[in-house]
Amino acid sequence: MASYEATARAGGGDDSGYGAKSWEVEVLSVSRTDLGGIKEASLVVSSSKGGGGGYNSFDSHQQEDIPQNDEELTNHLLSQLGPYGFFRFESGVHRVQRVPVNDVKMQTSAVSVAIMPSLPDHALPTALPPNELKIDTMRASGAGGQHVNTTESAVRVTHIPTGIMACIQDERSQHKNKAKALKLVAARVYSHRKEQETKDRSAIRSSLMGGGDRSERIRTYNFPQDRITDHRCKVSVSGVSSWLSGGGVVRNFAPYLYMMEREERVEKLEEEEIVNAKKQSRSGEKRKGSRTKSSH
């Protein structure tokens, strides 16, 4: 979480500040373990100036305007992206291999990351009609003092048609917790609907993002070998700690993944053209056969 938050607050820029944009980070909720680690967290990254999307934003420029040098191409691509476009390929399972300080054997752990496009506040009433929502209030649990535990400040919002739910209790204000819960549910419902649309029309192959499936292992951080490997683009880099502390992991792998997606889209279009050509050929042969029979 710390690495993503630092990268987002830097606006996606590198260590020198190159490419940084005006991005804002809002922590919706954080659930910690007994040892002080993070069990689950939700962040919202937004651009105050707007702009920047995903593949389409990059691809909309004329081909001759795109640099051919790898470093220039990377900077050109990332400069076109907004928060969602910058982080979108981080969805999936990130595996960590390390030797704990109290052990001598290497252990493997994993964290599941989901990157979802968020909706602006003015679009929430349309995306989440009141008759599709169930809103419950309750007393917050855990540490927080007398106020937190004696007032019904915690809010749980449930989207009835999908069963998607979010519970927020971080703020002392019930109104603020409700606003955060609505924002989180809206993002999850929107992402759910987009995933269904993608599956229905098979617009993106599963090899790259798995349709947003968070059970797919996408990257391994191997501390003993000091190596990070992305399993989709088959690219590895050395220096785990430096990449994580500097926030450059996303920036390093994003161009490879965007180019990979671009190539897959081209292949898919070529396959569709072949299929359509075969269908037209068969249709023409059938019509020709019918005319031959009628002439006899």
Span 205-248, pLDDT tens digits: 444 444 434 457 899 999 999 999 999 999 999 999 888 876 68
d(CA 11, CA 45): 9
User: Residue 223: its pLDDT value, please?
Assistant: 94
Residue 189, pLDDT > 60, answer: yes
From 67-76, 128-137, 198-207, the region with the lowest mean pLDDT: 198-207
Residue 6, pLDDT > 70, answer: no
Burial track 52-75 (b if 16+ CB lie within 10 A, e otherwise):
bbbbeebeeeeeeeeeeeeeeebb
Mean pLDDT of the region 70-89: 77
pLDDT tens by residue, 45-72: 888 655 444 444 444 444 445 555 556 6
pTM, 2 dp: 0.66
DSSP character at residue 247: T
User: Residue 65: its pLDDT value, please?
Assistant: 54
